[in-house]
């Protein structure tokens, strides 16, 4: 069984390696040096997207759009599932779930085509970036990026099914981590050239370490709601381990709200940034990372998605019903509807705290570091994704190890 876990880890690394190789496959017909120079020393929306794509945009790779079109399509479907009962029911059924995922894939294709077209229009307006005629370049760019995004979506699904899980999150994780060496190199170069002071770098490191500490502290935090059981239930389960509390995480929504917020901002800004319309360009400039409006919009979107996604993933009614069937109850609270209301009340309070924690982490570190003249994009969203995906992956590996041990002990007992 240990071999099974090793195989899953190797499969995951293999697919992530393939993802990193794709990041170095450029779209034909462009001068990548011109595009790379555009990102030097900047920390705008382009650098934010470049971070999520693992540097693919700077190289104008076929996966420059990253996995964001898929995430945008998922957001739309989640909103539809929460709004229309028929779509929500489709998601709950096994056959319906396959149809649900198929719709997301088709929506991803549409979003990718629209964004790829917008990117090609933007590059045509960049002096010296395009080396072939406009029509051919637009067609090649759209097809290349569509193929790249489809490959990324397939890689993510294969990691989820055959690897250690969370394929989409691991792709984003790998993209962010791959940019760390370049960020360190830029920082050292900034110190050597005098653009960054040594004290400023120390201050940046302190902010990053504090951000990581806060994230780990909150992500591991949970509210344990005590449970009591009837004497009959205790007697029937003497040989079994019965949980005497309900664990409710402080951050019920996980890393999804910041990712959703980033995807929602990236999609319109990609289109507006490639426009020649003065109003669209003005809006794109106003919403550039580091600006007041960008951080306000990010804060609001993260809070909204935190409440929205927590309401989807946390079902107090199911918990209350399961507790009642097992003969358990919260001391001082009647089983059934009253228990559901009590759990909902606790979850709502935690969700409020978790939402503002996520919004703060998504905006404050970037504001602090950008004012110090950092030559790389750093945001709490990136650190949050890296830390949370790392913690979640460790939990999955530990769970697999424990499962293997129990199966081995069971086989020996037999």
Q: Rounded CA gap, 308 and 79, in Å?
A: 9
For helices 134-162 and 94-124, the axis angle rounded to 10 degrees is: 150
CATH topology of domain 2-413: Preprotein translocase SecY subunit (1.10.3370)
Residue 28 contacts residue 144 (beta carbons within 8 Å): yes
Half-sphere exposure (Cβ direction) of 307: Cα atoms closer than 13 Å = 10
Per-residue pLDDT of the chain (414 residues; tens, 9 = 90+): 457 788 888 999 999 999 999 989 989 988 888 877 766 644 455 556 666 677 788 888 999 888 888 888 888 888 788 778 888 788 777 778 888 889 999 999 999 998 888 888 878 877 778 888 989 999 999 999 999 999 999 999 899 888 888 888 888 888 888 877 777 777 777 778 777 777 877 887 888 888 888 888 888 888 888 888 766 555 555 555 556 788 888 888 887 888 788 777 776 666 565 556 677 667 767 776 666 787 888 889 899 988 888 888 788 888 888 888 877 888 888 888 888 888 888 988 888 888 999 888 888 777 776 666 555 555 667 788 888 888 888 888 887 777 766 655 554 454
Q: Rounded CA gap, 47 and 110, in Å?
A: 24
Q: Rounded CA gap, 75 and 265, in Å?
A: 12
Q: What is the enclosing helix (H) or strand (E) of 245?
A: strand 245-249
Q: Which of 99, 49, 88 is nearest to 259 (CA)?
A: 49
Segment 333-341 long-range contacts (CB within 8 Å, at least 24 positions apart) = 340/316, 341/316
Segment 126-129 long-range contacts (CB within 8 Å, at least 24 positions apart) = 126/34, 126/35, 126/38, 127/34, 128/31, 128/34, 129/30, 129/31, 129/34, 129/35
Q: What is the enclosing helix (H) or strand (E) of 410?
A: helix 380-413
Written as one string, the DSSP assignment of 353-391 is HHHHHHHHHHHHHHHHHHTTT-SS---HHHHHHHHHHHH
């Amino acid at each position: 069984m240990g071999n099974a876990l090793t195989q899953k880890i190797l499969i995951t690394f293999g697919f992530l390696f393939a993802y990193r190789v794709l990041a170095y496959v450029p779209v034909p017909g462009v001068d990548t040096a011109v595009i790379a120079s555009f990102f030097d020393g900047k920390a705008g929306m382009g650098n934010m997207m470049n971070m999520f794509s693992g540097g693919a945009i700077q190289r104008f790779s076929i996966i420059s759009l990253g996995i964001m079109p898929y995430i945008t399509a998922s957001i739309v479907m989640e909103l539809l599932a929460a709004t229309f009962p028929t779509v929500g029911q489709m998601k709950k059924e096994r056959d319906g779930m396959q149809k649900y995922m198929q719709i997301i894939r088709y929506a991803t294709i549409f979003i990718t085509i629209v964004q790829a077209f917008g990117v090609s229009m933007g590059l045509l307006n960049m002096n010296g970036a395009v080396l072939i005629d406009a029509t051919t370049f637009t067609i090649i760019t759209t097809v290349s990026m569509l193929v790249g995004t489809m490959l990324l979506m397939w890689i993510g699904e294969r990691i989820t099914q055959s690897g250690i899980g969370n394929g989409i999150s691991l792709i984003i994780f790998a993209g962010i981590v791959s940019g760390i060496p370049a960020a360190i190199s830029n920082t050292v170069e900034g110190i050597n050239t005098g653009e960054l002071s040594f004290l400023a770098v120390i201050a940046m490191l302190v902010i990053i370490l504090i951000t990581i500490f806060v994230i780990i502290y909150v992500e591991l935090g949970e509210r344990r709601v005590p449970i009591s059981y009837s004497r009959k239930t205790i007697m029937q389960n003497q040989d079994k381990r019965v949980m005497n509390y309900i664990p409710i995480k402080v951050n019920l929504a996980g890393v999804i709200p910041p990712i959703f917020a980033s995807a929602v901002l990236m999609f319109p800004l990609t289109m507006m940034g490639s426009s020649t319309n003065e109003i669209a360009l003005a809006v794109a400039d106003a919403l550039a990372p580091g600006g007041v409006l960008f951080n306000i919009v990010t804060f609001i979107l993260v809070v909204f998605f935190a409440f929205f996604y927590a309401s989807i993933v946390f079902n107090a009614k199911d918990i209350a019903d399961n507790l009642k069937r097992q003969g358990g109850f919260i001391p001082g609270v009647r089983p059934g509807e009253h228990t559901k209301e009590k759990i909902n009340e606790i979850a709502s309070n935690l969700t409020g705290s978790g939402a503002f924690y996520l919004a703060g982490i998504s905006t404050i570190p970037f504001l602090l570091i950008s004012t110090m003249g950092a030559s790389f994009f750093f945001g709490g969203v990136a650190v949050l994704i890296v830390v949370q995906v790392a913690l979640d992956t460790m939990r999955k590996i530990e769970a697999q190890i424990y499962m293997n041990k129990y199966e081995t002990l069971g086989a020996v007992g037999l």
